[in-house]
Structure 1
Amino acid sequence: MPKSEDDIDLDGVLNEIGQFGRFQIRQYALMIIPIIFNAFFTLSYVFTAGNLEYRCHVPGCDDALTSYHPEWLNYSVPFKNGMPAQCERFQVISNTSLQDFYCDSEAFDRSTTIECIDFVYSNDEVTIVKDFNINCPKNDWKLTLVGTVNNIGQFVALPIAGYLSDRFGRRLVLLLSVAASAIFGLIRSYATSYEMFIIMEFLDPAIGSTMYTTAFILALELVGPNMRVSGNNVISCAFSFGEATLGLLAMFFRNWRTLLKILYIPGLVSLPLLWMTSESVRWLLSKGDREKAFSILKKAAKMNGKSLSPSAVEGFYPTSEKDSSSEELENTNFFYLLADAFRNPGLLLRVANCSFCWLTNVLVYYGLSLNSVTLAGDKYLNFILVSLIELPGFLIMQLILDRVGRRKMLCCTMLLCGLFCLLAEFIPTENTWLSLIMFLVSKMAITISFGTLYIYTVEIFPTNLRQSLLSLCSMFGRIGSMIAPQTPLLAKVWSPLPMVLFGGMGITSGLAILQFPETLNIQLPNTVQEAMSMNSDDRNNKDQFS
């Protein structure tokens, strides 16, 4: 009789064909492409909607502008904290002296200020601030709204994309997400108004936000248990490399329209290459399609220089007759499976805890990334450093995660990140280097936590609902990324508030993690019963939650 997914020891088969051979390397090489694109597409708004340094345009004086900070500026514009005011200037007393572009203290009434109409920018950088006249603090909400709208698109799309991926396959959803995201990104580069830009900023992630999770699962489901950490680190390092590359490209292409074209055109060009991606064997088995799954594993074994044992071949051997269990598996309604799974109180609590952990990780991770451009110094260099600091974090994961376990690692890194975020508020503002170091250490800790969380979420949920539940948890995480762009506004209420928020949530989530089971060196669960039997006291008792 043909075997269903539950009867097939897929992890044992992966051990036979090689846990990370040439076939898996090829799959990972393909998956790195959408992962880098996801870094580009997710964080491009940091630079396209970045604020600029500007001041009032002074009629007459600035008509013969020779520098951003001419000598007469002290007479014409009020200064705040040593910087020229952005949105107001002194009233001109007489236009006589201005006709010859001669400006002095006698030309301005320094007791009267008026609101600016035009502006002068400190350099040739062009963002939507300049093109769409989003100037002055009263319009800052329009800039922070861009990042929030981007993440609202992800929030709306992730559960739908998770359903489509679990229903129609990871490979199809990956191709559609890359193509659609690239198209909307390119349209955004031609936006003629702020409203058009915002709409495209929503549609881009609304269609393409599942790019990361789909590529991650397509890669990780084809490696054995002993190589999951290494496989996760390959994907995570690719994302960090994409972030740093984004900062580097933004440094050289300082017009937001040009930058978007540079970032999104490769998405369309890569589609023929991504067509070569292999479908998830675990997903094919969950749908009862043993023939395609067996074909992929035979191809993998041949590419890795291995061979399948007779027992493994027998498990996948197709017959002309379709057994009732396979037919039932194919015809099972997805929503029935999901509703049945949520009748399990333990699984429901696990999803809730996992969702809060995702919310915290995403909020702190993106909050630190976004706030890096507000640190003292070059914003491009700061962004690149904050991106590259993730790489030592992945190295630490590689060295110790398989030794200490997922739960301890996740708990400790969340607690450390929360602690460093709180301690950062006690550093004197003039000590910029120490502030940067604390900032980088916090980012490294949350990076380790986030990387561990991806592995953990894949390991604690069953195959037939894995991407849907991962997308559900990630959807709640997007609440954090929606809040993250607004954290600079929180600082106007109370300057330490953003870091206190990051620290408090990090510590709370770190303690909540202790309710999860340990999943070190276990096989991926195929059913809800198997997933819920993973507990720290007795992993082998698979009947206790039946």
Structure 2
Amino acid sequence: MNISQNKVTNSPQQFKYARHMFVSWPRYQPFFQYLRTACQFSSSAHPNFHSFHSKGTMMEEEQTLVKGGTNLEGSEAKLELTVDEVVEEYVGSLGFSQLVHVLLVSLAWIFDAQSTLVTIFTDAQPPWRCKSGLCRGYNNSSSNTGSVCELVSGTWEWVGGHTSSTIAEWNLVCDRRFLAALPASVYFLGSLIGSGVYGHLSDTWLGRKRTVQLSCILTSITAFATSLSPDIWTYAFFRFTNGFARSGIGICCLVLTTESVGRKWRGQVGQYGFFFFTVGFLTLPLVAYPTRTHWRSLYKVLSLLPLAYAVLLLPLVSESPRWLLIKGRTKEALQVLDRFARLNGKQKLPSNLSLTDPTGSSNAAPCTTSEGAEITPNNREKLWTTKWAAIRMITVMLAGFGVGFVYYGVQLNVENLNFNLYVSVAINAVMEIPAVVIGTFLLGFTNRRLLLSVSSYIAAVSSILCTFFSHKGGTSKVQNNHGGGSWGQLIIEGIGFMGASTTFDILYIYCVELFPTNVRNFAVSMLRQAIMLGASVAPLLVVLGRLSPSLSFLVFGGFAISSGVLSMWLPETRNAPLYETLKQQEEEEKHSWISHNDGALELGK
């Protein structure tokens, strides 16, 4: 029987049997060699035996393999496996080398957090005090800059001097108060545009690793340039460029880490990156406090870190083997996997090992025509022209808009708690730690969809509860010290932020698992754009919150509820494989859903 002539794709059962026989070939090879020797002996001892079992037929049986009719060269078969199979069988799901790889890549999240949240300190409304008896009726340490509009110029001053924040230096109060929201808004708009650009670069010719490197270098340059801004308009422009520059860090780091480990560790590994984002958030007050009277110095200090990382540490990181494979650079992909295996203490990969063609076609042409020459027809599959993928992407983006609006908005809104700013930020940063730990723990055995919706509802309920505390605090904010807010409100706000943080982290992991390799980074970048679009609106609500804090918390709660509801329309991906192409994913998911009596509902049809 010539197995190579059978079509193994006729049914899932045939495919499963063929796949098992192919993967298990090295185990059965000694048996076939023994059988061949026995047949040769029988043929020489019994001449009639040769007429029933010809030598040619035996050789054909031995040289035939299930997948694509691969042949034996000498006594070795060409062993074709997917990247997932190589990682699970030869490399290890998460060994020492992959852990070091994940940690080195995840360090970049620190700079992403610091670049994003630095405006909490540089663009905060500072407290002011009276210089003369003309403003004796007002508290001399109020944080409500609206009250200074009623005072005569020169009768009051900013605590910490006019260089303590951009609001103090450029007098962004009274009729200029909404200009204070401009830098943060355009920063997120820059991130929105940059996400699409970096997503395209990392999926095409630049790759994951070099895109992270480029993003870190540009983040460093634009952060330093921001510190030299002479006015609010130049400052806003450089914040836009800084947002554009840093947008490649998150999307590429997430994909670069998850594509190097086994499927059961993907969720946890993705959470490691968010842990380092928390580290960046937590260390920001420590860097900001010594520079509290000079906001420009804070930008200069933060500009040094991503540059040092890109030059000193990032060269030690390997490129994604999945991206190398999808670009036709199979030899380099095998080298990366072999390096991981050897550093994990495993044996060297078999010399006859080759990676399965990600197009899923057994008769497809090789991935390269010559060394490094890419064949790209199958890479032209477009996410937006595939119905189920487009519906899935739109749902993810709508949920992402709400998540970005709430996650970044709640962080920027800490100044409206009327607490000491450094204490408020530190508590929010600390609440990120249980969010990451809980998310990492629950991702191991809980459905992504359920976890995403529940965490969204926690953020929503907490935000709504904050409105009652804000109302109880009264409208006498002008008469309270800058550190005299409600502890109850601060604790509930922290719980809400923990829920928003968990939602934010899980949504990224979810998106990585929802789409195949050839569009994965593009899909994550589209999610990133939706999140940044939501985040760009949040600073405007924060400015309104200075006049009515309860309004801002109520709106945040409403958007959190909408994100939780939208997540219920997405398919579950826990323990699902990472596919290589849209076509392959559609076929495999259809077979999987049919076998579980789910039909094609999960495709959004």
TM normalised by structure 2 equals 0.76
Name the counterpart of 1:326.
367
Aligned residue number for residue 260 of structure 1: 299
- Equivalent AA in structure 2 for residue 370 of structure 1: L
**Which whole-Å CA distance do the structure 2 matches of 1:392 and 1:539 have between them?**
38
Q: In structure 2, which of residues 491, 506, 528 is the aligned counterpart of residue 474 of structure 1?
A: 528
Does residue 299 in structure 1 map to residue 372 in structure 2?
no
1:336 match: 380
How many equivalent residue pairs?
499
Instruction: Determine if the alignment matches structure 1 residue 33 to structure 2 residue 33.
Output: no
Query: CA 1:399–1:354 in structure 2 vs 1: closer, same or farther (change >3 Å)?
Result: same
Q: Which of 392, 406, 411 is 1:364 aligned to?
A: 406
Q: How far apart are the structure 1 equivalents of 2:146 and 2:562?
A: 41
* Cα pair 1:39 1:242 within 8 Å, conserved: yes
For residues 147 and 492 of structure 2, what CA distance do their matches in structure 1 show? 36
**Structure 2: unaligned runs, 5 residues or longer:** 1-67, 71-79, 358-362, 474-484
> In angstroms, what is the RMSD of aligned CA positions?
3.1
Task: Provide the rounded CA distance (Å) in 2 between the counterparts of 1:518 and 1:88.
Answer: 52
CA–CA separation in structure 1 for the residues paired with 2:446 and 2:379: 37
Q: 8 Å contact 1:17–1:306 — kept in the other structure?
A: yes
1:64 corresponds in structure 2 to none
Measured against aligned partners, the alpha-carbon deviations of 1:405-443 in whole angstroms (never above 9, x if no partner) come to: 111111111122212222222335348121112101111
Structure 1 residues 401, 158: CA separation in 2 closer, same or farther (over 3 Å shift)? same
1:197 alignment counterpart = 235
Preserved contact between residue 13 and residue 308 of structure 1 (Cα < 8 Å) = no
Letter in 1 for 2:260: L
2:367 partner SS: helix
Q: Does 1:10 align with 2:83?
A: yes
Deviation for aligned residue 1:84: 9.4
Equivalent positions of 1:486-501 (< 5 A) are 486-491=540-545, 495-501=549-555
* Separation of aligned partners in 2, 1:471 and 1:456: 13
Q: Find the aligned partners of 2:314 and 2:217 in 1 and give their Cα distance.
A: 11
Alignment CA distance shift 1:138-1:118 (3 Å) = farther
Do residues 399 (structure 1) and 441 (structure 2) align? yes
Equivalent pairs: percent with the same residue?
24
Amino acid at match of 2:343: M
Any idea what the Cα deviations from partners look like across 1:239-293, whole Å, max 9, x if unmatched? 0110010122112221111111111112222222212221111111111110100
What residue number does 1:94 align with?
Answer: none
In structure 1, the gaps of 5 or more residues are 55-67, 91-112
Question: Which is further off, 119-128 or 394-403?
Answer: 119-128
From 252, 257, 267, the counterpart of 1:229: 267
Is the 8 Å Cα contact of residues 460 and 558 (structure 2) preserved in structure 1? yes
Match of 2:325 among 285, 289, 293: 285
- State the Cα distance separating 1:79 from its structure 2 match: 3.0
Residue aligned with 2:157, SS:
strand
Separation (CA, whole Å) in 2 of partners of 1:541 and 1:24: 37
TM-score, normalised relative to structure 1:
0.84
Deviation at 1:516, TM superposition (A): 1.0
Shift in CA distance, 316/23, structure 1 to aligned 2, threshold 3 Å: farther
Q: Is 2:407–2:497's contact at 8 Å kept on the other side of the alignment? A: yes
Separation in structure 2 between the aligned mates of residue 413 and residue 89 of structure 1, nearest angstrom: 40
List per-residue Cα deviations over 1:267-325 (Å, max 9, x = no partner): 222222212221111111111110100111111111111125649824479xxxx9724
Is contact 2:130-2:140 (8 Å) kept? no
Determine if contact 1:171/1:279 at 8 Å carries over to the other structure: yes
The one-letter amino acid of 1:446's match is A
Query: Which residue in the other structure is 2:166 paired with?
Result: 128
Q: 1:530 to 1:413 in 2, by over 3 A?
A: farther
Aligned to 2:493: 439
Residue type of the alignment partner of 2:166: I
Which residues of 2 match residues 13-412 of structure 1 at below 5 A? 13-15=86-88, 16-54=90-128, 68-69=129-130, 72-73=132-133, 75-76=134-135, 79=138, 83=142, 115-116=152-153, 120-124=157-161, 126-131=164-169, 133-168=170-205, 169-254=207-292, 255-272=294-311, 273-307=313-347, 310=350, 313-315=353-355, 324-327=365-368, 330-332=374-376, 336-338=380-382, 341-412=383-454
User: Of 456, 469, 473, which aligns to 2:510?
Assistant: 456
The answer to whether the Cα contact below 8 Å between 1:418 and 1:502 also exists between their aligned partners in 2 is yes
Q: 1:120 to 1:166 in 2, by over 3 A?
A: same
Give the secondary-structure state (helix, strand or coil) at the position aligned to 1:353.
helix
- Contact kept? 1:219, 1:231, Cα under 8 Å: yes
Q: 1:290 touches 1:316 (CA, 8 Å); kept in 2?
A: no
Q: Call closer, same or farther: CA 1:405–1:118 in 2, change over 3 Å.
A: same
Shift of 1:29: 2.5
Comparing 232-241 with 307-316, greater Cα deviation is found at 307-316
Contact 1:88–1:116 (CA under 8 A) maintained in structure 2? no
Question: Structure 1 residues 213 and 85 mapped into 2: Cα distance closer, same or farther (>3 Å)?
Answer: closer
SS at match of 1:123: coil
User: Tell me, what secondary structure is at the counterpart of 1:120?
Assistant: strand
Q: Which moved more, 1:33-42 or 1:191-200?
A: 191-200
Between the aligned partners of 1:166 and 1:305, the Cα distance in structure 2 is 31
Corresponding residue number in structure 2 for 1:429: 472
Counterpart secondary structure, 1:324: coil
Larger Rg: 2
Question: Residue 141 and residue 334 in structure 1: after superposition, are their counterparts in 2 closer, same or farther (change >3 A)?
Answer: farther
Moved more, 80-89 or 290-299: 80-89
User: 271-280 or 326-335, which moves further after superposition?
Assistant: 326-335
